[in-house]
Amino acid sequence: MVRRRAGTGRVEEVADINNRGRPMCSLCNIPKHPSTYTEATLKRTIDHFYLSEGHRYRAPGPTEYLPTGRPGEVAIYQDSLKAGLRFPLHPFLVEFFCTFNLSPGQLVPNALRMLNYYLLVCLRNDVDPSVDVFRLLFEMKLLDRYDCYVVFSHRDRGLPSHEHFKIPNCPSSNSGWKNRYFFVKLVAGNFPFPLDWGVPPLEVFNSTPILTEQEIDSLIILRAIELLGRSMNDALTDDALVSAGIGRPYDMSADQFTEDFLEELARKNSRGQRKRRRENRPIPSPSSDAAILGGQPATEPAESQEPQRVAEQLRTPDSSRPRSPRTVSENRPTCNIRRPIEKVAEDCQAITSCLDWEVIEASKDKSPESLERSIMVEERRILSLRHSAFRKIRDQAEKIDHTSRLLEEKSRELRDHRRELAEKTAMVSEREARVADLEKMLQDRDFQLQQSGNRVQTLEDMVAQLTQDLTEKGKIAVEEYKSCEEYRTTVGMVGVRGREMAYRKSREWLAEHFPNVDYSGAPFMPEVDDEDDDASDE
């Protein structure tokens, strides 16, 4: 699923988190309160808050508890609707719940009031709602006894009144709200926010965010805005929510809640404010009219006009209070004649444009005051548009420069990686060549060893053959020796001079006549017993 980050225009990829099967809030203490809702009370709630027809609403059964019922359903409290929660949710609320992995039921009613009041103030003053700015203004805490619920506390309480974000008083008691809940499901598709209750990320939310220049400007503007009402119930009225693009009137269906209705609502509000200002407006003098028409400055001093303008603003209930000059941006228009009313798209999901019916109505009246007022409005509009265009161009240029720097760094890293890859490829090629040479050398050595082995085998065969030939020749030589006269003489010497003498004589004769014959294995002397040898010695 694709969602757009509010206030930045960035599109981010978000996983489908309805049928995600992610773990339940097992570390939290979830209350087991049975719901007091029945079909009759649910019907009254639907009729009272005029809930959207694109959803299915169901009262919980006697055995169904929080946080979810059937697949695809989300638990909603009745007091959450009183706190300004409307379906379909504004993209800022969807981003908030997705960023911190929370379900709408985990915010206590007063926490939802603070969140919706912040959204309402941003939309009514042409400020892009930002999650990081909200984190800087509020601190997340856990509800006592039940650590699955989230409450918000104001971080700006210690600052001076003109330097902190002002919020009305919340109801001091919402007793019994935990028992008044029911289940909601989309008719087609899935909710773009978590259904199961997650663990509240206190450390992540309470850490100091890093704001962009646009968010810093938004923070300065928000801290300069006065209260929209004494209490949250006075500020978060249905008319205020509808005019800002949050929810729709009780007696209007989804088909009737269109851009034409918002234009008509803006026209009525503009006529009523103009009528109230005319009733309290002083009658201009002829000299001032002549001065205006003639191009000369008015004779009435500016000090007498400024209190009247402030009084008119204070008497007009729908007009915002004057801001302090120290906290207003230099080029931001401070005139309250132009009251932008957000035009909402048909799906009630995004703010598309801003209407200004004061200029249209003022142009119809040709009086000098009307002409002067319209000229003033147009001048301030041009200044505001020029300032906004300059800021947008500057932000776009900064983004382009940042992107260019990132591209240069990525290109440099890519070149380094390519150079390293080429070097490693060359090293691998060189090592492969060396390995191929070594393999060739090993093959040559193996071939040489094989040839040497064959030669050794041939030599061993030759040696064996020569040994056999010599042995046979030795036998022949011994036989020839035995047949000669010398042998008989030698045999006669055995008894006279001893056997050793006979052996020596025999070897000498054989060495002389057969020098290359092995006669060691052939018996060339007769065997003589030891007794005969001893007798001969005696």
The DSSP code for 255 is: T
Q: Please name the residues in contact with 213: beta carbons below 8 A apart, sequence gap of 6 or more.
A: 395
The number of C-alpha atoms within 13 Å of 458 and in the hemisphere containing its C-beta is 6
pTM: 0.46
Question: First-to-last CA distance in the chain?
Answer: 128
Q: What is the pLDDT of residue 317?
A: 40
Q: What is the pLDDT of residue 420?
A: 93
Q: What is the pLDDT of residue 304?
A: 40
Dist CA 184 CA 86 (whole Å): 12
- For the record, the structure tokens of 281 come out as 């407006």
**CA-based nearest residue to 37, from 56, 64, 74, 15:** 64
Q: What is the pLDDT of residue 298?
A: 38
- For the record, the structure tokens of 475 come out as 């036998």
Q: What is the pLDDT of residue 383?
A: 74
Q: What is the pLDDT of residue 417?
A: 93
14-48 tens-digit pLDDT? 334 343 333 445 446 777 878 888 899 999 988 88
473-499 tens-digit pLDDT? 878 888 887 788 777 777 766 655 566
Q: What is the pLDDT of residue 522?
A: 58
Judge if the upstream peptide bond of residue 88 is cis by omega within 30 degrees of 0: yes
Q: What is the pLDDT of residue 434?
A: 94
Q: Do 357 and 266 form a contact (C-beta atoms < 8 A)?
A: yes
Residue with tokens 């289940």: 183
Exposure string (b/e) for 211-221, b if CB count within 10 Å is 16 or more?
Answer: bbebbebbbeb
The DSSP code for 13 is: E
Exposure string (b/e) for 300-310, b if CB count within 10 Å is 16 or more?
Answer: eeeeeeeeeee
Residues of the chain predicted below pLDDT 70: 1-28, 68, 157-162, 247-366, 373, 377, 380-381, 384, 492-499, 517-538
Q: What is the pLDDT of residue 421?
A: 94
